[in-house]
Structure formats: C-alpha cells, structure tokens
Amino acid sequence: MRRQIDYRLARRAVLREWRTGKIGRAEVCDAHPELVRAARHLGEETGQDCPICEKAKLRLVSYVYGDALKAANGRCITNQGELDRLGENCDEFACYVVEVCTECNWNHLTRSYLLGRRHAG
C-alpha cells in the first residue's frame, strides 16, 4: 500500500466557497491550456460529472516529478505500465493526479503519492 495524500477535503472546501458565492467561476475554472489538452488527449475519464458545469465527465491526468527521473521529470503519464517502469528504475519520485473538466476548465489536485524502489512492496 502506497502512502498518499488525498485532497478531497480541500476540494469540498473550494466547491463550498464557489456554491456560496465567496469565489467566482473564473477562480475555479482556471486550468492551463496544456493541462486541458493533456486531459483531452491523454487523461482517463472518470465517469463523474464536473461539479461546476455538469456538462462533461471529469478526466484524470497524472504527472511525475523527481530529480532521478531526468527527462521524464514533469511528464504526463499515459498508463499504469509507464508508471510501473519508472518505479522499477528510480529510487523515488512523486505522482500528482489532477481532475480536469475539458468543457469549463475546472481543475483540482485529487491526490499525490510517492513511488519508486524505496516505496515498493
């Protein structure tokens, strides 16, 4: 079992502030165009409706970061096999999973976790 940080509470807080009008739609629907592109072409559909526009299904995009990754540092991961290979070849790196709506540009970090040989098993 890998250690992970779950950001559901932070997500709920942001959505509560948006629903009560404390923050505007522009503040929650601010995904970078590259993130939206990655979600559209490489992201994994969740089957869950966007909490803001309710028009599109959310997509998950995973990015990896770590000094040992060299050229792969900051890359979008397209499948579990790719993530497994990196884990076998690196001592430690972090994976960040972001949910994205390609319709309204909502985005939120859903979880992060450490991978690599130090965290195997």
68 band by pLDDT with thresholds 50, 70 and 90: confident
Domain segments of the chain: what residues?
Answer: 4-119
Burial environment of residue 38 by CB neighbours within 10 A (0 to 12, 13 to 18, 19 or more): buried
Give the predicted TM-score (pTM) of the model. Answer: 0.91
Q: Whose CA is closest to 106, among 62, 61, 58?
A: 58
Share above pLDDT 90 across residues of the chain, in percent, rounded to a whole number: 83
pLDDT in tens, 47-67: 999 999 999 999 999 999 999
pLDDT over 70 at 1, yes or no: no
Burial environment of residue 24 by CB neighbours within 10 A (0 to 12, 13 to 18, 19 or more): exposed
Mean pLDDT, all residues of the chain:
94
| Residue predicted with more confidence, 49 or 79 | 49
How many alpha carbons fall within 13 Å on the CB side of residue 13?
A: 6
pLDDT in tens, 84-109: 999 999 999 999 999 999 999 999 99
